[in-house]
Structure 1
Amino acid sequence: MLGAIGLDERQESAYRALVALGAAEAADLARRLAIPEQDTERALRGLEQQGLAAQSSARTGRWVAAPPAVALGALLTQQRHELERAELAAVLLAEEYRAE
């Protein structure tokens, strides 16, 4: 469902689990998701890059979920802006095509 904003299946599963738990270590999350820890770490790093998760400052190795309303809202806004730019480009190309 969150693929529309750039998350792959593992990232979405990791984020959903992290939201449900609030915080977790990568090894615990990997067991919960039944995927290798390395893949879980990769998914968490991807979530971190998108502002959906962060490493806990209070406890090393622990990851926390960013609040969905804030983090997903920002991604949705970014996606909307990108779609608006693409729509404008399409209109300009159509006008150029008609002019030729």
Structure 2
Amino acid sequence: MLGAIGLDERQEAAYRALVAAGAAELADLAHRLALPEADTERVLRRLEQQGLAAQSSA
């Protein structure tokens, strides 16, 4: 569904998980997505580039 804006399946899954949770730590999100933390971090960077996620100072 979000492929129309250039997201792949992992990026869409991460976006949906963040929307459902409201916020998540990297390790928690990686666990939810069943991905290594390094891969999850790359996915999050892509979402940030798209303006779909942002790091929290908290």
TM value normalised by structure 1:
0.56
Select the structure that is richer in strand: 1
Name the structure 2 match of 1:50.
Answer: 50
The structure showing larger relative contact order (alpha-carbon pairs under 8 Å, at least 6 residues apart) is: 2
Give 1:4 shift.
1.0
C-alpha offsets along residues 9-43 of structure 1, whole Å, 9 cap, x if unaligned? 11100000000000001110000111111111000
Matches for 1:1-100 after TM superposition, within 5 Å: 1-57=1-57, 59=58
Seq. identity, %: 84
Question: Comparing both structures, which one devotes a greater share of its residues to helix?
Answer: 1
Q: Which amino acid aligns with 2:28?
A: D
CA distance in 2, matches of 1:9, 1:34: 13
TM-score, length basis structure 2? 0.95
Structure 1, unaligned runs of 5 or more: 60-100
Q: Structure 2: which 5+ residue stretches go unaligned? A: none
